[in-house]
Amino acid sequence: MADGKWRVTASRYVHKDRWISVRADDCVTDEGAVVAPYYVLEYPDWVEVIALDADDNVLLVRQYRHGLGGFSVELPAGAMEPTDADPIAAATRELLEEAGCAGEMGLVGETRPNAGTHSNRIHIVAARNVVRVADPLDDPTERIERLWVPAAEALRMALAGEMTVGMQVASLLRGLVQAGVATITLANPAEED
């Protein structure tokens, strides 16, 4: 019995730089169908930080996003650098750079931005008891407005579509549940009758 995986018969890079690599694979499915080219986007792993202060307010950032052509409300986040020892180190660096903040960091888990085309992972990190410890990094490509909102307001914003980056909405939900700030109760359809 076939395992369902595609076999790669050829692979080449059509673009490669420090931010992204675009790989074109020629593939054959286990049923013999040819899929060529199939493009894979190779990014470094990313980190997303659910930063909570002592009162369980969530730090959000608002910044211009060129792909969107407008402003986006998001979690502090960024790409892992080759010098980052692990996702916690990357999240610590991103939180300090974007907000001048630090806290008690813990790994929530990981997810994928788009398993169909992206090869990288998203590491979700929760930061508790976050406080400001420095000025944010002055980066002319990232003019960031920092917003502290109660956890309930952050959830409302996520569910209302005011946070538009889907992977960050998922990270926020996972982070707040793991931190014990939010709960998810599933309805039992049998009890509704």
Question: How is the chain split into domains, by residue range?
Answer: 7-42, 46-178
Q: What is the pLDDT at residue 142?
A: 83
pLDDT band at 60 (very low <50, low <70, confident <90, very high): very high
* pLDDT given for residue 139 in this prediction: 82
- Predicted pLDDT of residue 192: 58
> Is 115's pLDDT higher than 50?
yes
Beta-bridge mates of residue 51: 127
pLDDT at 193: 54
CATH 3.30.365.10 describes domain 46-178: no
Measured between alpha carbons, how far is 172 from 61 in angstroms, rounded to an integer?
A: 13
pLDDT at 187: 85
Closest by CA position to 170, among listed 120, 113, 130, 118:
113
- For the segment 142-170, the average pLDDT, to the nearest whole number, is 95
What DSSP state is assigned to residue 82? T
Confidence (pLDDT) at 137 = 83
Whether residue 41 is predicted with pLDDT greater than 90 in this model: the reply is yes
| 126 φ, ψ (degrees, to nearest 5) | -100, 135
Tokens of 146: 């920092």
Across the chain, what does the average pLDDT equal? 94
- Compute the distance between CA of residue 60 and CA of residue 175 in angstroms, rounded to an integer: 13
pLDDT at 56 (0 to 100): 97
